[in-house]
Amino acid sequence: MPLCFKWSLGVLLIIASGPLWAGKKVDLDYHVQLMPQSNQAQVRVTLADGSAVRSLDFDLGVPDSYSDFKADGQWQLTPDPEHSRGLWHPGPGKASLTYRVRLNHPLKNGSYDTLMTPTWALFRGEQLVPPASLDQQDGTELVSRLEFELPKGWKSVETAWPRIGKNRFRIDDASRVFDRPTGWMLAGTLGTRRTTLGETEVTVSAPKGQGMHRMDVITLLTFVWPQVQAVFPRNPPKLLIVGAASPMWRGSTADHNSIYLSSVLPLVSESGSSPLLREVVQVFAGINAEPSHEWIVDGLSEYYAIELLRRAGGMSDERYQTLQHRLNAAGKGVTHLRAATVNLAMQARAVTVLQALDREIRLQTHNKRSLDDVSRALMRMDKVNTASFIQLSESVLGGNSSVLDSPLLR
């Protein structure tokens, strides 16, 4: 006789719907109030349903970077001279964590890496929300948004993330489990120029009166853009370039789909190198090196900053030869490239090694392949080191490389 079971309607609904958290989307909102009177930002992290997240374990870095914590649920602060930690167990229902972050970051030479003034602030999104290990319920998807509350008189804010409102942005990073703001950000009374190159919305922005040549930046990018895309087949939805003058740092650096370029730097130097193009290469290539193997990233960035300008017709043969002499002279005394930090002499030597490798590949493959093929292969790797770089290069070359068989790389 067959067995018969009777199930309640509630049990049947649970079985039909699967696990309680399967496919559940939970809003994660970052609200940032900029406070120039104290050179700080007050950040509120809000979960629409705190029970969706078991914990967030924050790496707070050095003491005093973050302060004044208030949390719904449990908060445990563990001070440490180098890496303080904060563990948040959100409470049920709508749960928030509020704190303050110091935005001014002075350097030893008296300049600033990031800075807040009475009329503008230039900073990194990584400062607003520290890195964290996320422990969430299975099947939960956090939908992250960033919103700014600007001081009176401040007109606008720019980030490299998609804008979904006047001062609101969608944060969606497929490479991270915990979506948090990253990249360069700028707020205040700004002068901004925009254009579209390929499939990328390009924005060049700086505080008014800071000497940023916005249209010159756009003109140079327009000039080399086809060459950039020919080498690096990537189309970031947005590219943000921000800049300012003293007391901001006199340099350039790339972050998530964004670039800081000091407004006092030339777009193309007398030597023929371009700090702007060097950072554009870093954004598009997205190549990450293991510690002590940064010569690969730094060398490729400088190599293509020169090469892309040359291919676009922006550098004569005579000027290129002059640049070659300078690179050879600068890197003459370098005996090794693998190191914890890469100085200018090592960078110059790395460029000449890459130029020689490109010539070797073109010669051995009868111009069918080049260093471009190696670079595109590197883009597909999570991390690169010298051994993997040599392996990829020799795979493209079709044999052993005499250029890479060098004490420089050992």
pLDDT at 3 over 70: no
Counting residues of the chain whose pLDDT is more than 70, the rounded percentage is 94
Q: What is the mean pLDDT of residues 176-199?
A: 94
Residue 323, pLDDT > 80, answer: yes
pLDDT of 8 above 60: no
pLDDT digits (tens, 9 = 90+) for 192-217: 999 999 999 999 999 999 999 999 99
Tokens linked to 182: 């990253």
* pLDDT score recorded for residue 10: 44
For the segment 271-277, the average pLDDT, to the nearest whole number, is 88
Answer yes or no: is pLDDT of 396 > 70.
Answer: yes
**Residue 17: enclosing H or E segment and its boundaries?**
helix 9-17
| pLDDT given for residue 46 in this prediction | 97
Q: What percent of the chain has pLDDT over 90?
A: 85
Confidence label for 269 from pLDDT (cuts 50, 70 and 90):
confident
Q: For residue 58, report the phi and psi dihedrals to the nearest 5 degrees.
A: -90, 140
For the chain, domains (ranges, CATH) are: 23-102+125-154+163-175 (2.60.40), 287-409 (no CATH)
Q: For strand 156-158 and strand 184-188, is the pairing parallel, antiparallel, or unpaired?
A: antiparallel
For residues 260-268, give the mean pLDDT. Answer: 95
Question: What is the pLDDT, as a whole number, of residue 15?
Answer: 41
Asked if pLDDT for residue 16 goes beyond 60, the answer is no
pLDDT band of 272, cuts 50, 70, 90: confident
Which parts of 208-272 are beta strand (E)? Answer: 238-242, 252-255, 258-261
9, pLDDT greater than 70: no
pLDDT at 174: 76
19: cis peptide before it, omega within 30°? no
- C-beta of residue 105 within 8 angstroms of C-beta of residue 112: yes
- Please state the φ and ψ torsions of residue 303, each to the nearest 5 degrees: -55, -50
- pLDDT for 273 equals 83
- The DSSP line for 338-371 is -SSS--HHHHHHHHHHHHHHHHHHHHHTTTS--H
- In this predicted structure, the answer to whether residue 14 has a pLDDT above a threshold of 80 is no
Model pLDDT, residue 62: 87
| Average pLDDT over all residues of the chain | 92
* φ, ψ of residue 277 in degrees (nearest 5): -65, -35
Give me the mean pLDDT over the 256-283 stretch. 93
Residue 243, pLDDT above cutoff 90: yes
Mean pLDDT over 316-342 rounds to 93
User: Which tens digits make up the pLDDT trace of 104-162?
Assistant: 999 988 999 999 999 999 999 999 999 999 999 988 899 999 999 999 999 999 999 99
Strands, E assignment, 184-332? 184-188, 190-197, 200-207, 238-242, 252-255, 258-261
Query: With contact defined as beta carbons under 8 Å apart, do 256 and 127 qualify?
Result: no
The whole-angstrom separation of Cα 212 and Cα 43 is: 29
Kindly tell me if the per-residue pLDDT of 12 is higher than 70. no
pLDDT in tens, 65-99: 999 999 999 999 999 888 899 999 999 999 999 99
Residue 35, classified by CB atoms within 10 Å of its CB into exposed (0-12), middle (13-18) or buried (19+), is middle
Looking at residue 81, its pLDDT comes to 86
**Which range has highest mean pLDDT (10-24, 122-136, 164-178)?**
122-136
Binning pLDDT at 50, 70 and 90, where does residue 23 land? low
The pLDDT of residue 4: 45
**pLDDT confidence of residue 112:** 95
